[in-house]
Structure 1
Amino acid sequence: MHDRPALKPITIIIAPDSFKGSLSAAEAATAMAEGTRDAGLALGRPDLRLTLCPMADGGEGTLDAIAAVWGALPRTMLTVDALGRSRRARYATSADGRTGLIEAAESNGLPMVADAPPQPQRADTFGVGLLARELLDQQVDEILLCVGGSASTDGGTGLLAGLGARFFDAAGAPVAPGGAGLVQIASIDLTGLHPRAREVSWRVAVDVNNPLCGPNGAAAVFGPQKGAQPNDVALLDAGLANLAAVVLAETGENMLDRPGAGAAGGMPATLVPLLRAELVPGSTLVADAVGLADTMARADLVLTGEGSFDSQSLGGKVAVAVARLAPTGCPVVVIAGRVALSAADTAASGVSAAFSIAGGPATLDDLKAHAAERVRETTAHVVALFLHALPRS
C-alpha cells in the first residue's frame, strides 16, 4: 500500500467590493468564502487556505473595510453635517496611531441631510474639517481622506475653515460658508490654520476624473444630485472658477486643468494646493492601506467582485485594481451581479474571467434579495472549475 502524496497547499485571496444595495464588502467576502469551502469539501480539498480582504473604492464602506483589516474599531466624535447641524461621525486610526482615516460622508454625506430640503448653496464640508482636526490633535503622520458621497459643493473651503483657515471678500469681510460664498472670495488667510495641517501627508481618494468647472465639472455633473437647480449650478460653477483663480494667484497652482478636481464638490481645489494633498484612485488608496499586494503575493487564485462589472470598472474600480496587483500568472476571477464587459475587454483589464450571479432570468429585486446565496453558489462553481484544472499529480 502506498501513501497518498501530499497535496500542494492552495492559497485563495478573496477581495471583493460591496454589492451596492445588497451586500457589504465583508458580507460578499464571507459568501465567497463559504462557496469556496463548499467546492473544496465536494472535491476533497478541505485544506484550502483562504484570506478575506474586503475592499472599497473610496466611497461608502471604505472606513469599515480598512478598519477591519487594520483590526481597529472606528471611534466616534461630535461634529456637524453639511448643513451645520450637530451629529456624531466615525473615524479610525491604524494600530500604530500613525495613519488616520476619514470617510467624509460620515459627516457631510447626502443621507445625513436627506431629512431637510436641499440647500446646495449652503452645504459645506466644515464637519469634515473637525474630523481632520481631531486626527491632527492625535498626532497622526498621514490622513487618508475618502471624499465620495458628498452633499456639498464648496471647493473644500469648509474643511479648511474647520482647520482654522479664513476666507475674505474684496472688502476684507468674511464670506458666507458653503458654495454661495465662493464667488465672493478674494483672499485666503491661513495664519490660523492648525499647525500640523501642512506637516502631515494627505492622500485623498477620488473615484472620478471630472474637472473642477464647466459642463463636466463638479457643479454641472454632481450638483443636481445634491438638489442644485440650474440657477444654483450656474452660481456654484462661477464660484468654483473664482476660487480656482484666487488659489492660482496665491499658490501658482492651476486647479482648473487638474483631472479629478471636480470630485466631491471640488474639494481637491483647495486641498491639493494648500495642504499639498495627493489625489489617488479610491481603490488604489484602499489597496495600499490594507497591504493588498503583499497579501496576494503567494496567491494561487484571487476572487474579487462588485455589483456591476462594466465600463466604469475599467476606470479604477476595485475589481480591476485588484487584478493589477495580483501576481503574474495568478488567475483573477470577478463575481458580479451583472457582467457587461466582453471576454476580450475583461482580459484586457487583467481579469481572467467574470461570472454573473444571475443563473437565469431574474429581476434586480430578486438578485438583491438572494445575493449572498447566489454569490456563494457562483463562487462554488468557479472554485470547482479551478480545482479540476489543477495538475492531477
Structure 2
Amino acid sequence: MKFVIAPDSFKGSLTAKQAADAIYTGLKRVFPTAEYELVPMADGGEGTVQSLVDATQGQFRHAGVLNPLGQPVSAEYGLLGDEQTAVIEMAAASGIQFVNEETKNPLITTTYGTGQLMLDAMHHGAREIIIGIGGSATTDGGQGMAEALGVKFLDAAGHPISRGGGGLADLATIDVSGVDPLVAQTKVRIASDVTNPLVGAQGSAAVFGPQKGATPAMVQTLDANLAHYAAVIKATLGTDLADFPGAGAAGGLGAGLLAFTQSQMEKGVEIVVRETRLKERAVGADYVFTGEGAIDFQTQYGKTPMGTAQAVKAVSPNAKVIGVAGNVGEGIEQLYNLGIDAIFGILPGIVDLPTAIQAASANLARTAENIARVIK
C-alpha cells in the first residue's frame, strides 16, 4: 500500500514538513511496512519558501535589505536543491508585518527590499526565481523592486522620484539602461492567484489599498498614480499593464515584475506541485493525505488541498484523497465533486486556540492513526 502525505502548513503551529511528519507518525502506527512519500506543500503564500526548501533539500539564505519603510532588516529566502532556483516571499522584505496602525502608509511604503532579495539570489547563482507576492504593505506598482534591480525612475528634471505610491505622480521617464545584466538571464515565476488589474474599481489601490492604510482620498491618488505609471511603462517599453489580470497583485508588484523582469504569472500551488515533483511521486498511490489549518468553501480556489487532489488524481485517478484540518468550515460539500474524497477535523473537542496550536502535532498524528484504522 502506498501513502502520499502532502499537506500545507498549519498556520501558527506546524510547518508543512512538521505536518507531514505528524501524519506519517500516525499512519505508521497502523501500516508500519507501507510505502510513504512525504511531500511538504504550499500554495505560493506564507510557508512556500519553507516547503520548497524542505521538499528539495535546499538551504536558506539571508540578505540585508530595506523594509517597506526604508529601514534596514535581514530577510530570508530559499535556494532550492538544484542551487539554481531561488524561492522568495515578497513579504519577507516588504510585508505588512513591518508596519503598524501609525506607520502604514502606501504613499511611502516601497518594494525596494524585494528587489534587493531578488538581486542577492541572482548573484548567488539563481537563474530562476519563484516569488510569492502576497501579504504586502505596498502600493508602489513594483517601482521600488525595479529600482533595486537598476531601473531609474526620473521626474521631468531628470531627478529620481521618491519611493512609494505617492512618488509615481512625478514620474516622467524610465531608464532601463542600468539594469543588472543578470536580470535578463533570470526567469521569474510569479506565484499569485490574484487576478485584479493594476487600476480601476477592481484595481490594486481600490481593492487592497484600505487594508494597507489608504484613506478614500489616498485610494484616488494611488489609483491615478498607478494609471500614470502604467502609461509611462507603455510609452517606454510598449507593455500595456493597466488592465492586465494579476498586475494589481501585491500593490502592483505584479505589474512591476511583468514590466521589468523575464516573468510570467502562474498559480502558486501549480508551481509547488511542479517543483516538488508531486505528480511523479504520487504515481501508484492508494491514499493521499493533505490539509492545512482550515478547509472550507474557499479551498476550491487554488488552495493547497485542492491543488494536491487535482494533481494526484491526474496520475492516480483511483487514489483516495483525504483532507485534514484544524478547522472544517462551511461549504465543504462542494469539494467532494472536485477531487477530495473525505475531510476530517483534528481537534478532540472544544479547546482554546493556544491549546489547539500546542497540541497540533499530536492531534494530527492521532487523527491520521484513526483514519488508518478505518482503512485497515
Fold agreement, TM-score > 0.5:
yes
Residue of structure 1 in register with 2:84 after alignment: 98
Which amino acid is 1:322 matched to? T
Deviation for aligned residue 1:202 = 0.8
335 and 84 in structure 1: CA distance in 2 versus 1, 3 angstrom threshold: same
The answer on whether the counterparts of 2:190 and 2:264 sit within 8 Å (CA) in structure 1 is yes
Q: Percent identity?
A: 38
Deviation for aligned residue 1:193 = 0.4
Corresponding position: 1:55 with 2:37: no
The answer on whether the counterparts of 1:165 and 1:192 sit within 8 Å (CA) in structure 2 is yes
Q: What runs of 5+ residues in structure 1 fail to find an aligned partner?
A: 1-9, 388-393
Q: Deviation per CA, 1:343-368, whole angstroms, max 9, x where unpaired?
A: 64112221111112245555555533
Residue of structure 2 in register with 1:117 after alignment: 103
Corresponding position: 1:209 with 2:158: no
Residue of structure 1 in register with 2:3 after alignment: 12
Aligned counterparts, 1:1-393, within 5 A? 10-38=1-29, 40=30, 45-114=31-100, 117-326=103-312, 327-340=316-329, 342=331, 344-364=333-353, 366-387=355-376
Partner Cα separation in structure 2 for residue 154 and residue 289 of structure 1: 30
Deviation for aligned residue 1:136 = 2.0
The answer on whether the counterparts of 1:148 and 1:207 sit within 8 Å (CA) in structure 2 is no
Partner Cα separation in structure 1 for residue 208 and residue 375 of structure 2: 42
Deviation for aligned residue 1:50 = 2.1
Q: Deviation per CA, 1:276-318, whole angstroms, max 9, x where unpaired?
A: 3111111112222222211212322110001221222111111
Secondary structure of 1:267's match?
helix
- How many residues were matched structurally? 373
The answer on whether the counterparts of 2:199 and 2:243 sit within 8 Å (CA) in structure 1 is no
With 325-334 and 349-358 compared, the bigger mean Cα shift is at 349-358
Q: What runs of 5+ residues in structure 2 fail to find an aligned partner?
A: none
Q: CA RMSD in A?
A: 2.0
The answer on whether the counterparts of 1:79 and 1:87 sit within 8 Å (CA) in structure 2 is yes
Q: Deviation per CA, 1:89-138, whole angstroms, max 9, x where unpaired?
A: 12222333221222221211222334962232111111111111122223
85 and 342 in structure 1: CA distance in 2 versus 1, 3 angstrom threshold: closer
215 and 37 in structure 1: CA distance in 2 versus 1, 3 angstrom threshold: same
Which amino acid is 2:82 matched to? D
The answer on whether the counterparts of 1:101 and 1:143 sit within 8 Å (CA) in structure 2 is yes
Partner Cα separation in structure 1 for residue 332 and residue 215 of structure 2: 41
Deviation for aligned residue 1:219 = 1.8
The answer on whether the counterparts of 1:247 and 1:270 sit within 8 Å (CA) in structure 2 is no
Deviation for aligned residue 1:334 = 0.7
23 and 94 in structure 1: CA distance in 2 versus 1, 3 angstrom threshold: closer
The answer on whether the counterparts of 2:15 and 2:51 sit within 8 Å (CA) in structure 1 is no
Partner Cα separation in structure 1 for residue 125 and residue 101 of structure 2: 35
Which amino acid is 1:294 matched to? E
233 and 343 in structure 1: CA distance in 2 versus 1, 3 angstrom threshold: closer
Query: Normalising by structure 1, what TM-score?
Result: 0.89
Deviation for aligned residue 1:322 = 0.4
115 and 97 in structure 1: CA distance in 2 versus 1, 3 angstrom threshold: farther
Q: Deviation per CA, 1:20-53, whole angstroms, max 9, x where unpaired?
A: 2332222222221122123x1xxxx321222222
With 155-164 and 273-282 compared, the bigger mean Cα shift is at 273-282
Q: Which protein shows a greater Rg?
A: 1
